[in-house]
Amino acid sequence: LFNQFVWDDYYLIVENPYIKNFKFIPNLFSGDLIYSTIERHVESSYYRPLSMLSFMVDYKIWRLNPFGYHLTNITIHLLNSLLVFLIVFEISKNIGVSFITGAFFVVHPIHVEAVVPIYNRMGIQAAFLMFSSLFLFMKSKDFSRRGFLSGALFLFVMALFSKEEAIILPLIFLC
């Protein structure tokens, strides 16, 4: 929680004028990731407006205090762990297995690189939306509950706006 900004945090957050005022929301959605920062001379081919919007909200709350950004990342990771618990419980109907799986997910050291650097918010945010979408898809019970299915589709689209890796979610639905 008490680490400073590092690496990409500087151009994505600290030096980025576009996350410092909500009037720039159209910039977040009108071009690639680099277009929504100060460095316009490079094209990134990444389209991640929802992640940039989350930085904008964090900036509104925390300004340039990295503590708040880290707190947001940890909160998202904890929510992801809860969703892992719920998904495994939905599959196994075994609370012990679900708890152990969720606990293992929350403390596994492989997640350090995804959670600690602020700029990796894009991945954990996309994971949150993907897990949420998968959970609602599972709750739709063979497509009979249209509300859950609509929610799953909506969250899938939101995940795509966070990070492009979400494109694999329909394949996971098939499995």
For 66-100, write each residue's pLDDT tens digit. Answer: 899 999 999 999 999 999 999 999 999 999 999 99
pLDDT on residue 103: 94
Of the two residues 81 and 12, the one the predictor is more confident about is 81
Residue 7: partners with Cβ closer than 8 Å, 6 or more residues away: 117, 119
pLDDT on residue 39: 59
For 136-156, write each residue's pLDDT tens digit. Answer: 998 887 777 888 989 999 999
Instruction: Provide DSSP, 35-49.
Output: GGSS-TTS------H
pLDDT on residue 156: 95
CA angle centred on 165, ends 126 and 102, rounded to 5°: 50
Of the pLDDT bands very low, low, confident and very high (cuts 50, 70, 90), residue 44 is low
pTM of the model: 0.86
Residue 159 has pLDDT above 80, yes or no: yes
CA angle centred on 20, ends 14 and 24, rounded to 5°: 125
